[in-house]
Amino acid sequence: MRALVTGCAGFVGSHLTESLLDDGIAVVGIDCFNDNYARPQKLRNLERARDWEDFDFVPVDLARGDLHDLVADCDVIFHLAAEPGVRPSWGQRFATYSRNNVEATQMLLEATLGEPARRFVYASSSSVYGQAETFPTSEDAVPRPLSPYGVTKLAAEHLCLAYCANHGVESVSLRYFSVYGPRQRPDMAFDRFFRAALDGEPIRVYGDGRQTRDFTFVADVVRATRAAAEAPLAVGRVYNIGGGSRVGLLETIELMRGVMERPLAVEHHMRQAGDVRDTAADTTRAFHDLGFRPSTPLAAGLGEQFAWTLADQERARALAE
């Protein structure tokens, strides 16, 4: 079996790539190293995958390249490449989000036409819901994204559904909720919090800290993503992938204090445009169709991320000496 993983050098993509390789599945990894964060970190994310003979890395810009040859050799497509982040998606950068999230998805879907049926798993986001009215939120809730980023992720979902309905592409869309864990992007909250605390700086919180999130550990996300590639009932459907509990941000910071065993200073700033107050995933459909149930408690997952952050900082210091 051979899988195509786009965004293979990213946070979730690198974990998915390693999981597939560990199980004897050959992987064609695609990444264009866009500038949302530093290239060296993305290269570090790929270090273990590059040790496998069954891993082929192809540096391709999905919105520009001819992808037919890459798709033709693969049995399943995991499309995780994207321009991430709610806060940077306003203003002139929206053109980048539209290109990398919508146009690139359409190019990849086009490349699948005329090929034998294969599963196309698309990584969407809870940002498509905006500020939901009911919690936990089911997939039947009407999406009302509050950010340009959310708009582009929802648009790409609709493209997947359109190619499924009209051309038989076996698309599945997964709405990830607040993914965290080792290799988390440097712009994401837990990575920023841990590194600020280690450097003796205050944690910067946007808003009053009482906002809640459904935090989902990366290993649970990988299991759900792989299940979506195989489940017979999944074709043409959308699934929430959440961590199983709705936790306040200040409560999460208390858990981080316990993990780090040190006091943490919190500095509050104005809420940012596009930030929603609360998220919580109803994962009933994912459990029924995919057999998905999150298994990593938040405290345990934070412990794993902190251990990785410590090791990453120690490595950076050693390289600088």
Domain carrying residue 50 = 2-180+215-244+280-296
* Closest-CA residue to 138 (of 288, 209, 50, 239): 239
* Closest-CA residue to 99 (of 126, 77, 81): 81
pLDDT value at position 281? 98
Query: Is the residue at 60 inside a domain?
Result: yes
| Mean pLDDT of all residues in 305-310 | 97
Give the model's confidence band at 34: pLDDT under 50 very low, under 70 low, under 90 confident, else very high: confident
Note whether 280 and 241 are within 8 A (CB). Answer: no
Query: Is the residue at 306 inside a domain?
Result: no
What predicted TM-score, i.e. pTM, was given to this entire model?
0.97
Residue 125 CA to residue 110 CA, distance in Å, equals 22
- If one counts every other C-beta atom within 10 angstroms of the C-beta of residue 115, the result is 12
CATH of the domain at 230: 3.40.50.720
pLDDT value at position 300? 97
Specify the length of the chain in residues: 321
SS in 3 state form for the chain? CEEEEECCCCHHHHHHHHHHHHCCCEEEEECCCCCCCCHHHHHHHCCCHHHCCCEEEECCCCCCCCCHHHHHCCCEEEECCCCCCCHHHCHHHHHHHHHHHHHHHHHHHHHHCCCCCCEEEEEEEHHHHCCCCCCCECCCCCCCCCCHHHHHHHHHHHHHHHHHHHHCCEEEEEEECCEECCCCCCCCHHHHHHHHHHCCCCEEEECCCCCEECCEEHHHHHHHHHHHCCCHHHCCCEEEECCCCCEEHHHHHHHHHHHHCCCCCEEEECCCCCCCCECCECCHHHHHHHCCCCCCCHHHHHHHHHHHHHHHHHHHHHHHC
Residue 174 CA to residue 163 CA, distance in Å, equals 16
pLDDT value at position 234? 98
- In one letter, which amino acid is 206? Y
Q: What is the Cα 204 distance to its own chain's centre?
A: 22
The answer to whether residue 321 scores a pLDDT higher than 80 is no
**For the chain, what is the radius of gyration of the CA atoms?**
19
Query: Is the residue at 202 inside a domain?
Result: no
Note whether 12 and 176 are within 8 A (CB). Answer: yes
Note whether 169 and 228 are within 8 A (CB). Answer: no
The answer to whether residue 253 scores a pLDDT higher than 90 is yes
- pLDDT tens per residue, range 157-189: 999 999 999 999 999 999 999 999 999 999 999
β-pair partners for 173: 122, 238
pLDDT value at position 29? 98
pLDDT value at position 237? 98
Query: Is the residue at 144 inside a domain?
Result: yes
Number of domains into which the chain is organized: 1
pLDDT value at position 35? 82
Query: Is the residue at 320 inside a domain?
Result: no
- In one letter, which amino acid is 207? G
Q: Give the mean pLDDT of the chain.
A: 96
The yes-or-no answer on residue 176 being catalytic is no
Query: Is the residue at 203 inside a domain?
Result: no
pLDDT value at position 263? 85
pLDDT value at position 277? 96
| Mean pLDDT of all residues in 234-261 | 96
The answer to whether residue 228 scores a pLDDT higher than 80 is yes
pLDDT value at position 116? 81
Q: Alpha carbon of 259 to those of 180, 249, 301: distances in Å?
A: 15, 15, 10
Query: Is the residue at 44 inside a domain?
Result: yes
pLDDT value at position 37? 79
pLDDT value at position 98? 98
Query: Is the residue at 302 inside a domain?
Result: no
* Candidates 149, 176, 180, 239; catalytic one: 149
